[in-house]
Amino acid sequence: MRRYPRASTVLLGALVVALLVGAIAAGWWALQRYRAPAVTGIAWQVDNRSVGIAGDWQRLGAHELLVQWSAVDDLAFVPGSGLPQAPVLPDWRRIAQAPWARQVILGLGGRFDEKRARAGIAELAEQSRVLARLPTPLNVVGWYFPVEASPEWEGARRLPALLKDLPRPLWISVYDSANIGARETADWVASWLPPDVGVFFQDGVGVYARTPKVAREYADALRKKLGRERVRIIVEAFRPVPGGFRPATADELRPQLAAYGGYQTYLFDGPHYVTSALVKALAR
């Protein structure tokens, strides 16, 4: 004859199951908060020290490489430009096979010194036209003109005429060093930016210019003015120390990435600051 459990036993069992389900759900949500959201890609400020670029950034979701420039200070990191070449060129064929570089936005002619870059934008635009025509083994899905714009720079209004002969899709970067505000920055950018050029917004969190929440407000204001597809975010993956910068910690980066949900994000920069140890900490 079948024996049925007492009602108290059934209730106790149900309570245990409910507690277990709740604990599992709480643990899952805690893990999602702990794990950094996926990134779109990494940025790379090419220099002689990083020509052997290597990493495991695909573990963070990275599949796109934003190359800041292919020539800097009249020194080319690609062959055939007519400029003096760097002592060692990046192995572009190897890079093209990397999982974090399945797509590439290729930077053109730039300078390390921002004042010199802004003073010589016409020369850099001409240099960039030459660089953009060079063949590469990369899957280039866009180009980047590496002269950064901020509201105090009156010369930014010269950019439309200088950018018109560069290939599309074309991107520039924007930041707000004067902290004039999100809406004001977006209004300023929209007043001169050509309608077929996109913006990488530098979040400013790495230099403690603003919090991730405020950086998100800037991106939202830019998106409202320019459209969803024309705004992406540069996530500053560094922090200042006396005499320079250090890589951000995982605990510092997670709030940045969490704040930018819904945006395409790029860690600046991969080879110099996003180490394998940092990738491991963010990915676990």
The verdict on 52 and 9 lying in the same domain is no
Please check whether residues 2 and 80 belong to one and the same domain: no
Q: Does 47 lie in the same domain as 25?
A: no
Taking phi over 0 as left and psi of -120 to 50 as alpha, with beta for the rest, 126 belongs to: alpha
What is the overall mean pLDDT for the chain? Answer: 91
Same domain, yes or no, for 11 and 56? no
Same domain for 19 and 43? no
Tell me the per-residue pLDDT of 163-202, one tens digit each, with 9 for 90 and over. 999 999 999 999 999 999 999 999 999 999 999 999 999 9
Domains identified in the chain, total number: 2
The model's pTM is 0.88
Confidence (pLDDT) at 284: 83
Residues 131 and 18 in one domain: no
For residues 277 and 175, state if they share a domain: yes
Tokens of 48: 């002689």
Shared-domain flag, residues 250 and 269: yes
Can you give the CATH number for the domain in which 46 is found? 3.20.20.80
pLDDT at 64: 98
Residues 41 and 29 in one domain: no
Residues 276 and 249 in one domain: yes
**Residue in the structure block whose two tokens are 């998100």:** 216
Residues 42, 16 within the same domain: no
pLDDT digits (tens, 9 = 90+) for 22-51: 444 444 334 444 466 899 999 999 999 999
Q: Which domain, by its residues, includes 27? A: 1-34
Verify that 130 and 146 share a domain, yes or no. yes
